[in-house]
Amino acid sequence: MIWNWQQKDWPNFTFDAHQLDEIEAKFQFQSGVLFGTLQHIQDNHKTFFITEIMSDEAIRTSEIEGECLNRESVQSSIQGNFGLAIKPQKMSSSEWGISEMMIDLYNRALA
């Protein structure tokens, strides 16, 4: 795999927007299903559900960069930021950092 900055046309990318139509439609549909589902979940369960989604995204994002994070540590940090009772976990600076970033993104999305 080569990095974006190694592409021959960097930074002047071109693409065919129509090739994204099907993927975009699927994303929009699934987002609607998720949003609808969240409307029917009790608030205390919703926070745990959101924590799961954020943890998955944090782990996958880090994997792109070649980092393997401890899921329990990431979840613990995110749960702590939501004010949930947590079992303290020893975590690396990478786990703490990605957790903080996910919470910041979540809070900015609500603003």
Q: How far apart are CA 36 and CA 23, in angstroms?
A: 20
Instruction: Name every residue whose Cβ is closer than 8 Å to that of residue 41 and which is 6 or more positions away in sequence.
Output: 49
pLDDT in tens, 70-93: 999 999 889 888 887 677 778 888
Q: How far apart are CA 110 and CA 28, in angstroms?
A: 19
pLDDT surpassing 80 at residue 44: no
Give the domain ranges of the chain.
43-111
Full-model pTM: 0.66
Region 25-32: mean pLDDT is 95
